[in-house]
Structure 1
Amino acid sequence: MIFATVEIIVYPNVHNYKAGVLFFSFTESFGLSGSKTKNIPIASYTFFHSATMSLLSVQFIYRYWAVFNVDKLRCFKGRQAVVWFIYCSFFGFQYAIGTFVFWALDEVSSDYFREEVLLRYNANISSFPAMSIVAYDPVDGSITAPTLILFIPITFIIVLPMFNLDISLPSGVLLCSFTLYPAMDSIIVMCVVSEYRITAKKIFKVIRKIIIEIHKSRNEPTATSSAP
């Protein structure tokens, strides 16, 4: 009910345009009109959206115990019930802060959506609360690494069953792409940040020296003593 009420107050909207998605509202809720505060209401909407999704798992636990172990329902009474509010709020804050920080409009995304917003809504994108994400670089079309090895594979695995296609695919190979992300992310950081790059080179030199010494010790001729 709170989630539905927030939606009425904030009145959020979404617009998909080519390689980007714009999350916005034409209403400046609670009088927040500053450049740093006007997006708080639509970020709060994502808080309640995530908290509501988390609440579904809590409901499942409650119904399971209500059928198979009624004694454990005491965890939903009194002070013990606070843990469920904390659980839902944790994911709500994580989602809201993530969208507020990482979906914030910058110069690139503002320029990307400016003409589209003016054409579709006859409005200036800078005049209302809005957050966005652009999947590709508008200039050269380059993709970020997580898009290729995290988001696309998991989206394929989750969405494909919804189409009920007559297919049989060993999609387990896509799981390998998930494990590539930590390694690739570390490699990218080591290449971009000079301090990490220098440290990585030092570690590589030490490891290389150890391997060479081990290899030499194995190839050295062993002294054999002749029998008298």
Structure 2
Amino acid sequence: MINWFEINKIVSQFGFFITTSSQLTVIFLTLLFVRKDLGAYKHLVVLFSTVGVLFAILEFLLYPGLHLHNAGYIVYINNRPFDASKPLLTLILAVYCSLYCTAISLLAVQFVYRYIAVFYPIHLKYFDKWYLLIWVCYAVWFEFQWGGGIFKFDEVDDYSEEYTRQTMMDYYQIDVSEVPCLVNVVYQTIPNSTDTFIRWNNAFNTLNMTFVGTLQYSIMIFCGYKLYYKMEEKLSICSDDSRKLHRQIVKTLLLQIITPTIVMYSPVFLVIYLPLLNLDFSLPMGIFLGIFSLYPALDAFILMYVVTDYRRALKDVLKVLNPFKKVTVSTLVVIPGQAQFIP
């Protein structure tokens, strides 16, 4: 029998290593080596990278799992870090889920910043100094809305516990009543009948996640579209260096639309919408959670590959750290009456 928990654990460990190393590298380069022309965008990059690191750390500590079953799904933890209580770990599980929303919200803010930088540069002051807190609050607001919705509306009750009990035992040898988990079951069957009714608590959470996710994605699409098709005429009055930098960052943002669409949005919307069809199936999806933690790493690789400043800074750092670099040895040549160094 396939050990799904071990598979989830391996993916989580891999995601933790790749994400933390890449995001810490981005933070290091951004704060110490990348030129100041990026302006407040540097702060947004550091914020996004920090969230990515936190997401990977929680993934590594919790080893969360995800399972789709007929009209519902369950997110669970089969691990007890620091021997924490079940209620506390359930809360931390909701926080883990909310960091996903924080990441996509900060990504949307990056699109807004670049849109304003190209079309309304006079308003960039609203991203600097204490104004940056407004955008942090924006991301945190939706983090609480997403995480709070999951924690409140997907709270386990008698029906959802029984609904997932046999499946969790068959696939993972887990007693669902013993593990921290959050369960969403859209439909409930009436006893001794084929009729069903909607479980509105769980349905409200689906609506909540749809609203938040669609809002962030719409911002990204709108700004990305405007930047791609309207940018050239706006950049005609900029210097060559500014045009080059804007184009590189816009290229980065466009890749930041394609990549999360495949890695983050598609899996999440599959998970929250497939139960609405109430099909007869059961599918382990824990590996998708590991893929979510890999997205910040992919974002870091995009940034370091596309933006010249990051590429140059990374090369400079690697040259300094390279243990096999050639060392120039100077030879002292002694000539009567003088001494001279010859490299």
TM-score, with normalisation over the residues of structure 2? 0.40
User: Please, which of 121, 134, 146 is the counterpart of residue 70 of structure 1?
Assistant: 121
Q: CA deviation at 1:138?
A: 3.3
Q: Distance in 2 between matches of 1:105 and 1:145?
A: 12
2:196 maps to a residue whose letter is S
What pairs with 1:152-171 in structure 2 (closer than 5 Å)? none
Structure 2 SS opposite 1:104: coil
Instruction: After TM superposition, give the deviation of residue 71 of structure 1 in Å.
Output: 2.8
Residues 69 and 7 (structure 1), Cα distance of their counterparts in 2 relative to 1, 3 Å cut: same
Q: What is the deviation of 1:7? A: 2.3
How many residue pairs match? The answer is: 152
Candidates 116, 123, 133, aligned match of 1:82: 133
The answer to whether structure 1 residue 27 and structure 2 residue 93 are counterparts is no
Identify the match of residue 168 of structure 2 among 93, 105, 117: 117
**1:205 is matched with which residue?**
none
What corresponds to 1:144 in structure 2? 198
Verify the 8 A CA contact 1:26 1:128 in the aligned structure 2. Answer: yes
Percent identity, please.
28
Q: What is the CA–CA distance in structure 2 between the aligned matches of 1:145 and 1:45, rounded to whole Å? A: 24
Which aligned pairs between 1:39-54 and structure 2 lie closer than 5 A? Answer: 39-54=90-105
- CA deviation vs aligned residue, 1:62-102 (integer Å, no higher than 9, x gap): 11122223332222221110001100000110111111111
2:57 aligned with 1:5: yes
Q: SS of the residue aligned with 2:66?
A: strand
Q: Show structure 2 runs of 5+ residues with no match.
A: 1-51, 215-260, 262-343
CA distance in 2, matches of 1:30, 1:70: 49
Unpaired stretches in structure 1, ≥5 consecutive residues: 163-228
Q: Which amino acid aligns with 1:144?
A: I
Root mean square deviation, CA, Å: 2.6
**CA contact 1:25–1:129 (8 Å) conserved in 2:** yes
Secondary structure, counterpart of 1:79 in structure 2 = helix
The structure 2 residue matched to 1:57, chosen from 97, 100, 108, is 108
Q: For residue 118 of structure 1, what is the amino acid of its counterpart? A: M
| 8 A contact 1:43–1:97 mirrored in 2 | yes
Residues 93-145 of structure 1: CA distance to partner in whole angstroms, max 9, x if unpaired? 01111111111111111111111111110111122111101111133441328
Q: Which has the higher contact order (CA 8 A, sep 6+)?
A: 2
| Contact preservation (8 Å) 1:29, 1:41 | no
Letter of the 2:126 counterpart: C
